[in-house]
Structure 1
Amino acid sequence: MHNLKKLNLLFFLFVAFFGQLKAQDTLRVIQYNLLNYGKDVYSCDQQTNNRDDKNGYLRTLFSYYLPDIFTVNEMDGDEADVKYLLDSALNVNGRTQYAQAVFSGDYLVNMLYYNTNKLALKWQDNLFLGNTERDANFYRLYYKSPDLADGADTVFINYVVVHLKAGSEASDISTRAAETQDIMAELERMGWNGNVIFSGDCNLYNSDEQAFQNLVAPSDISYSFYDPIGQEGNWHSNSDFALYHTQSTHSVSGCASGGGMDDRFDFILVQEDLLNNTNNLSYKEGSYEAIGQDGQHFNQSLLDGSNADYPADLVTALYNNSDHLPVTMQLVVDQTATGINDIADIGVRLLGNPVSGVIKMEVQAQLPQFSYHLFSISGNAVKSGVVYPSRGTTVSIPTGKLAAGIYLLKLKIANRAPVTFKVILQ
């Protein structure tokens, strides 16, 4: 009880001093080249690169690290395959919250999947990149803040997902430069210079390449991207970057490219505001990693020797699934819930606080039906419903198996400003 009183006091002090409750949520993002998922090409077919096997490898990855945003390259140009991954790798084991973006493309397709419990897709478009038969895909997501129903602002997340031209010939390098030049021009045309993330297999060998310089040093610096880990340099076959190499997980070529771990092809780049949290979204320092990379497999297969940093079943799944490693980082969302009450002026009174098992409210006025939403302190919706009250009645909302802690109960009555109760479950 002493700790509960202390928590209650801290909550009120926080609200009293800042006038609002500032909460945070964390989003996990993964970028992954899936190596011809569902596509028969070169030495990859349903014997050497079976999509059901690949879904099993992805389920192993997701049991280790479950993303809120999952961007991928090298999907087959068939929408059925894109949907098959959603249904067979993401929405499994009781999960139903994942959705995909609208399918677009017919060769080496990019895709974005997202957690609908936290995010919604507001808009998307694609940009055809010259004669390379590749698209750059643009997505605009928004965070499902508790205040959205009241027309309040939320956090928007802008995504660019790419798969740049492969190869080390002069023509390949020139093509990559043209691709990123087109992408940056499109960002300027749309005015995207806030909360933008650039994600993809870029096939870059060093940071001096014009393609990379177009991203990090454009003519209008307000559109500049930054490497969150600050690891610029000559990445190719350079042991100094062994911890950051993402390709190749194989030493011998087949369906997968060979050569061992010696290239940093896969990136997640961010604009400056994500490094200094000026738009309620920020990169979580220290969260960037190439999953499966322990820095001890330079010019080797991912299965050569041991890997003390990751579970053996995960390492094997990553090796079998693709010649690339997935890259991940975390985003911190700042959200605001205002108007915290103990007694509402709309004719509803909270009965008892803390509560145990059931939240009870007394209806003191003649009210129409109203809706309620219960949010965790981090802003996640955990319960909602509609109440059909009559004056003098007591409304009960069972809390079920919700964990003890502070929650926000928001009531919305037609033609009235919403109110939010602070509720402590014990």
Structure 2
Amino acid sequence: MKVKLQFILSLFIVFSFQSYSQETIKTMFYNLLDFSEAPPTDRSDILNSILASYDPDIFMVSELQTEADMNLILNQSFDYTEQSVSSAPFVYNTSGFGGNLHQLVFFKTEKMQLMETNQIQTNIRDINHYKFQMNTADEEMLHVFVAHFKAGQYESNQQERYFEATKFVNYISDLDADANIIFGGDFNFYSPTEAGFVTIQYGTLNTDMLDPLNRVGEWHNNATYSDVHTQSTRRSNGNFGDHGAGGGLDDRFDFIFISDNLAEQTNNIRYVEDTYQAYGNNANCFNNNINYINCTGDFDQDLRNLLYDMSDHLPVVMSLETDSNFLKVKNYQIKNNVSLLSGNLVDDMVDFKFNSSLIGKKAYIYNSLGQNLGGFTINNTFRSYDISAYPNGIYMLKITDLEGHIKIIKR
């Protein structure tokens, strides 16, 4: 009887773990600093190494300059992964004085689908809204907002940040009371007493937005909060063509806020405790370069060198989890989703037409020996690809998650 009882108990434990297995959604926000204009010129490769070290499922950015820079990130910075990465459509800023600095989100298509996008207008830069549906049986929704608030310490700058925060809370007041929300951005708050910060946290009747670390204090130029500082990674910007700020790490400008329901363990999507970090900050670099040799700790010298070269800001990261399992993406036949507009007998250029469902997936060209000659991320339903450097012969196009291939004959 004792053996039988132990067997039943073992089955209960096994099925309990199967029923409550958890899936993780890793998020990152990063102010990319005038990307890609600012030096050094190899920052897409630098970003590749930073992203590979964390591997986010949702990557929120600010200070992206052009659609070409978006494609640079998709094709080069995410080249480290075999998983399919897409971005929301690149949309130019519609607010008053945002200039050529834009917000955007990149995401793993195996884990989620982009359902809606919108822009909240302010006086300076838009606040971008992205609604995602998780690729799970429960199809949980996650609202992602990305912002870049007005910089500066003057009272007028603080008032502008308050206005931007008010626009955000007025917007989310129209969402369902139980909506899952994360709000990433460079907010330029110098103090938690700023009206803008208080408004984000407590500005609606239905939803409070929380700092997952609960490290609310006078961060500015205060060594007590050196573990949460995100700007500046550099004591001087002289070696970077005066792009960005100097002064060393002494401000907490960058945040990912979460709606209060994400802090509840019973919620369908929730924050994972102790995963929020100022990425690369070992908490001992106050007023110094992030790559200062004495700033040792969990984040190694190689990573901190990359962060120093990439931007005057550090990324902030955190993880979410859900009890629903991500569903395996079905493999579809490539022949039903890709066509060659000029046939498969070509000279220098191949003209592809892709089904819109393929946007975000990676396409690769192989020779007859099966060698990978390169590829690209599908960002549009039409794409011309230059194969003039290839010798005459037979080539194959393959796409991630699709079965089969398309034959191309270069003459």
Identity of aligned residues (%): 31
Deviations 1:244-285 (A, max 9, x none): 000000001322310000000000111111001343111000
Change (3 A) 1:11 1:290: farther
2:22 to 21, 24, 28: 24
How far apart, in 2, do the equivalents of 1:294 and 1:12 lie? Answer: 42
Deviations 1:8-50 (A, max 9, x none): 98456665x89x93331011100000001024xxxx4xxx342
How far apart, in 2, do the equivalents of 1:276 and 1:330 lie? Answer: 14
8 A contact 1:195–1:279 mirrored in 2: no
8 A contact 2:133–2:142 mirrored in 1: yes
Deviations 1:86-122 (A, max 9, x none): 11111x1452410000111243100100001111111
8 A contact 1:291–1:325 mirrored in 2: yes
8 A contact 2:233–2:311 mirrored in 1: yes
8 A contact 1:158–1:197 mirrored in 2: yes
1:188 matched to 2:186? The reply is: no
8 A contact 1:194–1:279 mirrored in 2: no
Aligned to 1:169: 154
8 A contact 2:36–2:43 mirrored in 1: no
8 A contact 2:83–2:108 mirrored in 1: no
2:101 to 100, 105, 108: 108
How far apart, in 2, do the equivalents of 1:7 and 1:237 lie? Answer: 60
How far apart, in 2, do the equivalents of 1:23 and 1:7 lie? Answer: 21
8 A contact 1:24–1:379 mirrored in 2: no
Aligned to 1:251: 235
1:72 matched to 2:61? The reply is: yes
Aligned to 2:209: 225
SS of residue paired to 1:29: strand
Aligned to 1:373: none
Aligned to 1:139: 130
- How far apart are residue 62 of structure 1 and its match? 2.1
1:95 matched to 2:42? The reply is: no
8 A contact 1:187–1:193 mirrored in 2: no
How far apart, in 1, do the equivalents of 2:8 and 2:256 lie? Answer: 40
Change (3 A) 1:309 1:22: closer
Please list, as runs of the form range in 1=range in 2, the aligned pairs for 1:254-403 lying within 5 A after superposition.
Answer: 254-306=242-294, 307-335=296-324, 378-381=325-328
Alignment coverage as a number of residue pairs? 317
Change (3 A) 1:64 1:100: same
Change (3 A) 1:192 1:38: farther
- How far apart are residue 215 of structure 1 and its match? 0.8
Letter in 1 for 2:309: N
How far apart, in 2, do the equivalents of 1:382 and 1:10 lie? Answer: 32
Change (3 A) 1:277 1:235: same
Change (3 A) 1:320 1:189: same
Letter in 2 for 1:239: A
TM-align CA RMSD: 2.3
TM-score where L is the length of structure 1: 0.70
Letter in 2 for 1:292: G
Select the structure of larger CA radius of gyration: 1
1:83 to 46, 64, 71: 71
8 A contact 1:250–1:256 mirrored in 2: no
Aligned to 1:36: 34
In the TM superposition, structure 1's runs of 4+ consecutive aligned residues that sit over 6 Å from their partners are 6-9
How far apart, in 1, do the equivalents of 2:220 and 2:169 lie? Answer: 25
1:242 matched to 2:226? The reply is: yes
8 A contact 2:111–2:326 mirrored in 1: no
How far apart, in 1, do the equivalents of 2:220 and 2:107 lie? Answer: 32
Q: Which runs of 5+ in 2 are unaligned?
A: 1-5, 94-99, 334-411
How far apart, in 2, do the equivalents of 1:108 and 1:167 lie? Answer: 17
8 A contact 1:129–1:135 mirrored in 2: yes
Aligned to 1:58: 47
8 A contact 1:23–1:379 mirrored in 2: no
SS of residue paired to 2:159: helix
SS of residue paired to 1:297: coil
- How far apart are residue 305 of structure 1 and its match? 2.8
Letter in 2 for 1:99: S
Aligned to 1:345: none
How far apart, in 1, do the equivalents of 2:306 and 2:23 lie? Answer: 29
How far apart, in 2, do the equivalents of 1:288 and 1:94 lie? Answer: 23
Change (3 A) 1:300 1:113: same
Deviations 1:300-359 (A, max 9, x none): 111223323212211100000000001000101111xxxxxxxxxxxxxxxxxxxxxxxx
SS of residue paired to 1:305: coil
Letter in 2 for 1:202: F
Q: Which runs of 5+ in 1 are unaligned?
A: 1-5, 148-152, 336-377, 387-426
